[in-house]
Amino acid sequence: MSGAPSSGAPPVADAVNQADQADQADTAVYLYGVARGLDPSELRGASGVAGAPVRGVVAGGLTALVSTVRLAEYGEAALRANLEDLAWLEATARAHHDIVDRAAHAAPTAPVRIATIYQDDARVAEVLGAQAERFRSVLDRLTGRTEWGVKAWADPSALDAPDTHSGGGLAPSAEPPTGPPASARSGSGSGSEASRLGAEPSAGAGTAYLLRRQRERRRREDAGRRAAEHAGTVHEDLAGLAVAARRHAPQDPRLSGRSGTQVLNAAYLLDDERVDDFLAAARSAGERLAGVEVEVTGPWPPYSFIGEDT
């Protein structure tokens, strides 16, 4: 039995009736996404935002994944405040993703933007009907495809390493690359910022120090440029295996918890049969590029490939 939504009465009537009996003045309906051909049993036991059970609202052959939320938490004013609370945002984002991910493994599913709220199931059904053509076209595009994420970091020590291609003029120094010259350190011997500022090195030592700093800066800029070029090449190669590709903005290191420079943060929409080739290509890119670490995440529901612009 396929659980096709066209057969018989909507299998969600009981859930809808339960929701209708709730005090509607205090509650609203959170929409996660819209699936086509989803067997409702796939949602059994699923809990969404705030731990509420998830149900399907069926209209026009499409299933909207929803759960009931309290207006005290998801009303407009509450939402505005809660979205600024990172712990709340994380809990909501993970719950939203868990539901979309679960549905997407069972049937083509179009996620909707986080925090899309309706008055009740009847309104969701109405919107589903009004937007049916749009959802069908999005779902057509997503069917048989998944999103994969690829990030690449350039190792900071690799970025600092001498450029072996730039000739013999830059012999490695025995001194720490960013330390002050020896003459400026003679006072305290600690090499601290204070001793550097307090000391008065000779003009020759000072000039040599500044020149060395300048060379180091250029070397780092060159290395950064090379890393960006490598990332561009990797992206082009991977995009060649994808139906669509999109570069996200580099992630804030304070949120990612990663050191090093993120040189690639991209998403790729792949036909299911291309996934193995794609993973092999991503792995080989990571092995080919010294000092660049590649991380792959997936499969994602195709969040990044919904918009009309992709």
Partner 1 sequence: MTTVLDHATDAPMERIALVDLLDRLLAGGVVIAGDLVISIAGVDLVQVSLRALITTVRDELLPDMGEERP
Told to check if 108 binds partner 1 by CB under 8 A, we report no
SS3 (DSSP) at 121: helix
Residue 209 one-letter amino acid: Y
Among 50, 89, 107, 170, binds partner 1 (CB under 8 A): 89
Q: How far is the CB of 28 from partner 1 (least distance, A)?
A: 6
Cβ atoms of 157 and 285 within 8 Å: the answer is no
Q: Does residue 138 touch partner 1 according to CB under 8 A? A: yes
Choices 41-49, 163-171, 195-203, 243-251; region in contact with partner 1 by CB under 8 A = 243-251
The total of other beta-carbon atoms located within 10 Å of residue 14's CB is: 10
Quick one: which segment of 50-58, 158-166, 199-207, 297-305 binds partner 1 (CB under 8 A)? 297-305
Give the span between the Cα atoms of 123 and 219, in whole angstroms: 60
Distance from the Cα of residue 233 to its chain's centroid: 20
Give the interface size with partner 1 as a residue count (CB under 8 A): 68
Residues sharing a CB contact under 8 Å with residue 132, sequence separation 6 or more, in sequence order: 59, 60, 61, 62
Nearer to partner 1, 17 or 297 (CB): 297
How buried is residue 72: exposed, middle or buried, by Cβ count under 10 Å (0-12/13-18/19+)? Answer: exposed
Q: Which residues here bind partner 1, judged by CB under 8 A? A: 28, 31, 33-34, 71, 74-76, 79-80, 83-86, 89-90, 93-94, 96-97, 101, 105, 110-119, 123, 127, 131, 134-135, 138, 147, 149, 151, 248-249, 251-252, 254-257, 265, 267, 279, 283, 286, 293-301, 303-307
